[in-house]
Structures are given as C-alpha cells and as structure tokens.
Amino acid sequence: MGALSSRMMWLRRDRAPEEPGAVRDGQEAVEMEAAVVQGEEEGEEAQLSTSQVGHKRKTSPGGPLAKAPRRERIKDKSRSIYQALFLRGEGSDIQIRALGEEWNLHRVYLCQAGYFASMFSGAWRETHMNTIEIQMPDENIDREALHEVLGSLYRDSMIIPPCRVVAILATASMLQLDELIQQCREIMKDTVSAQSVCNYYYFSAENYGLQDIRTICRQWLLDNLMTQRNEELLMEVSLDLMRELIASSDLLVMEVEMDIYTTLKKWTFLQLQPTWRGTRRALLPDANSWFARHRGESEGAPFLETEQGRAFIPVFQQLRLAYIICDLPSALIIDQDALIPAAWLTPVYKEQWLALLRAEQTKEIGPVDVYVSDLQGNSMRCGGQLQRDEQCSWRWAGFNFGWDLVVCYNNRRIVFRRSALNKSCGLGVSLLWQRKVAFRLRLVSLDRNGRAIFRRDTEYQMLSLRKDQELEVVNLENQDVVFPLYMACNFLYIPRERGTAQSEDSCKSPES
C-alpha cells in the first residue's frame, strides 16, 4: 500500500495543476488503492485458509500468517505512508500554510475532509492553486491540533488525549471530519470531570453543535457543585451558568438552602478576586472579610445594590429565601452579611407570616392540587449523605409549618415518618390528624470523577401521613447501590396562593 501510494502521488505531481480532472482522478486513485489493499488482505486470508487445511499438523500454534502479525504489517504500511507522505512530504502537490507553519501535502488525501473536498471541486480560486493560505476562524485551533488533524488523513487511527480534545474538535469541525468529531464526542463523554466540565460545557454545543455533551456537563454540575466543594471549579463557572444551576430543582443540595447561599457567597468572592490563593478552610472567612470591607467602603449599602454587585443580581434572585429566613441562625447571617437588599427580604417575611397564620388558624392540612411548576420553582431543597450501608435519619433545620418530617434509612429502605411527639420543632408540632406534603426524592452515587454510577428518582408525588405514621417511599433491595450515597429531597408543605388555575399536570399520590 505504501509503494502504491508513493507511485500514485509522484504521478500526480507530473500532472498540470490546472487540469480539470485532477481532483477526480485523485479520488479514483484512492478507490483503486483501497481495492488493491482489500485484494491483498483477501489473498492473505485465502492463503491462511489453504495453509490451515493442507498443513494443519505442521503449523505453529499461531500459524505462519496469524492475524496479529498481519495487523502489524498493516500498521507498518500505515506508519510508512504517514512518515513518507505527511512528515517528509514526498510527492507533494500542494502546500498548506496556517498559523505560521507550512505542510507539503497531497490533494487526494486532503479531499477526505469536506472542507478541502469542496475547495478543490468547485469553481473556487484555490482549486488550481499550489499554495493555500488558511486563516483560522476559531481561536481554539492551534498549530499542534492542526498538525495532528492533518496527519490523521494519512493514517488509520488517532489517539486524542482528553486535555487536547477541545482543540482537536475545533479543528475537525472546521475541516468537516465527521468521524473525528464523533471520536471527540465519545472522549468527552468519558472524561467529564472537575477539570474539564466547564470547558466542555462552554464550547461543545455553542460552537460545535454537541448538545448531548452540553446536557451531560450540565447534569454533572448539578450533581457535583454542592458535593465536591472545589474552589477551582467555582472559579470557572460563569455567571449565566451559575444562574441556571441555582435555579434548578435538580441541584443536588447537601443540607439546606442556606448552604446554597454560602456557596454563592464564596463563588462571588472568587469571581471578584480571581487571583485568590488559599486553603479550602480559609475561603469562607476570606470571603466574609472581603464583603465586610466592601460594605464599609460602600457606606453600608447592600452588596447587590453596589456597582460591583449588580452583575450578580440574576444569580442571587434564584435563591429560595423563604427556606433561609425560616431558620433563626440563617436569618441572622443574612442580615449581618448585608449582601441581599432589605427590599428583597421584606415581602418574603410577610409571605411566610401569612402562610403560618393560614396553616395554624385555618387548620390547612397541606397541598391539595399542586402543579409541577410549584415544586420546581418553590419547593424546599435539602439533602444528606449516607457514607455506609447503615441506619441513619435526617431532620432539616427550619420552621416547616408544624411538620416534623423525619427521613429514615434502614435495611435498604427509605421511609418518611411524621413525628408528632411533644418536643420542639420550629414553633411547634401540628397535631392535625392528617397532613399532606408534596415531595420528590433522588438518590445518586458518584464515582471519584463525579460521574453518576447509580441514580434513582421518585419523581414528584403527593404524600398523606397521619400522626406518627410512616410510609416507605424507596426500596433498594436487589439493587447495586454504591456508597457513599447522596440523597436529595424537594418538599412543598404549603402551596403558594394561586390567582388562577393553570393547565399543568398535578402531582400524583402514591399508594399508602
């Protein structure tokens, strides 16, 4: 194959560049070359078959023409073509110039790329030029990536390190190499991590149309933003991306909504101080000190009302403040930090007070007709982590309108229990004979790179519990659960007042 290719390219060198059939003849030569190689392989297979039949007892265990040596010979031929024609430029009939470099190449090989096939087959000025200058439209394309991608046209396979996949993808997209784009897609799917996720997310869909990669990266961020506590990752998350993540009910929240606020405070500090270098333990104190100094310099104005803070308003607006101010220590921190304007908080306090009165004085038992949009936008987000397969239970801080809902894990079952014991729970425990809650429960196990290896979702449901009643909501028996196991919950105890009915699907009620 190597000799045939060399002869073919040398013959093409003698052809006049302006001959109209030059590109077409080159393509025919590639087809003829492929047929010759196929014939050689079929001949070897026939010879192998004859040898195995006629000399069955005399052949060695591997056979004189075993498949492995034959593959090695094919690799050697491919390597020879790559070295002679691409690296040394033997028989070159065209020169490509880009990024300050020159490559002496061959039209017949370049035509494998849609970019060059169109260039050489149409009525373009470059069709008959011996030297072509290419301007790079994408800043992600560098000299190394262009060299590797052009070289891939001369060999059977290409190894792409994950750290180079975006540059290779950018180059393959420009040259319209669909198989190489698909190879990059598969590599990106398998290598999403804290170091690569933002880079993949920003460029995969917007620049190169890989919407599935963008979706995978978004889910990875929803699973890991609150669980990894990675300062480098926070630095890379843009304002628009953070707004989308914080708004989502799919965010895997560890503990309560206040922890989302704390994460936003650290993220904002890192966005404004990108040169900060310190330990994980020092990040929050350093952020608090910086905001305190900023507050003093701004004469006590809330951070989000200052010039530096206004850009972050769309992100902080996604916080569900009703589930922060219902806990006294959290409410005091919000007041002390003075990041959020009082004009944001006053309506929330009023709404919560009216909801409390409605729950206490009207003996409201909870949501009746709840729409999915209520849960997605207004539900309480909380969660916990189960390190080992052992008994555990969770309560989350805050006043939940008389609900003392306990989530228990035992014997691979997750149970919701409504406790009505006479003990402190916010402002007291509701003794109504029945209470309703809308909920969603998700379980996720992550590998060391943050990729989900187990996922379970109850979807949104309505639950009705009597005093001290418990109900199993998830059974994990006979399932391959990997620990640690993250549990994320969405609860809606009291629905917001709705002015008009909406044509949305309401939540389903599980069988008790």
What does the pLDDT read at residue 405?
82
pLDDT tens column, 39-50: 444 444 444 343
Which among 364, 408, 378, 393 is positioned nearest to 491, based on CA atoms?
378
Mean pLDDT, rounded, for 1-18: 34
343 burial (CB, 10 Å; 0-12 / 13-18 / 19+) is: exposed
What does the pLDDT read at residue 354?
86
What is the three-state SS of 291-342? HHHHHHHCCCCCHHHCCCCHHHHHHHCCCCHHHCCCCHHHHHHHHHHCCCCH
Confidence grade of residue 501 (pLDDT, cut at 50, 70, 90) = very low
The pair of structure tokens assigned to 285 is 């104190």
Report which secondary-structure segment, H or E, holds 102: strand 101-105
Q: Mean pLDDT lowest for which of 119-123, 364-368, 478-482?
A: 364-368
Confidence grade of residue 79 (pLDDT, cut at 50, 70, 90) = confident
Task: Give the single-character DSSP code of 279.
Answer: -
pTM recorded for the entire structure: 0.79
Tally of helices (H runs) and strands (E runs) in the chain: 18, 12
Is the pLDDT assigned to residue 492 strictly greater than 80?
yes
Average pLDDT in the chain: 81
Is the pLDDT assigned to residue 474 strictly greater than 70?
yes
Which single residue is written with the structure tokens 């009703």? 322
Is the pLDDT assigned to residue 143 strictly greater than 90?
yes
pLDDT tens column, 306-328: 999 999 999 999 999 999 998 89
The string of DSSP codes covering 178-214 is HHHHHHHHHHHHH---TTTHHHHHHHHTTTT--HHHH
What does the pLDDT read at residue 465?
80
Q: Which residues contact 90 (CB under 8 A, 6 or more apart)?
A: 6, 9, 10, 84
What does the pLDDT read at residue 378?
86
Q: In angstroms, rounded to a whole number, what is the distance separating the alpha carbons of residues 512 and 510?
A: 6
Mean pLDDT, rounded, for 174-183: 95
Is the pLDDT assigned to residue 432 strictly greater than 70?
no
What does the pLDDT read at residue 364?
59
Phi-psi region of 45 (alpha: psi -120 to 50; beta: other; left: phi over 0): alpha
Mean pLDDT, rounded, for 104-131: 87
End-to-end C-alpha distance for the chain, whole angstroms: 72
Which single residue is written with the structure tokens 């998700």? 442
Q: Mean pLDDT lowest for which of 47-61, 138-152, 199-213, 362-376?
A: 47-61
Q: Which residues contact 259 (CB under 8 A, 6 or more apart)?
A: 226, 253
Q: In angstroms, rounded to a whole number, what is the distance separating the alpha carbons of residues 382 and 403?
A: 15
pLDDT tens column, 246-294: 999 999 998 999 999 999 999 999 999 999 999 999 999 999 999 999 9
Confidence grade of residue 160 (pLDDT, cut at 50, 70, 90) = very high
Mean pLDDT, rounded, for 151-156: 92
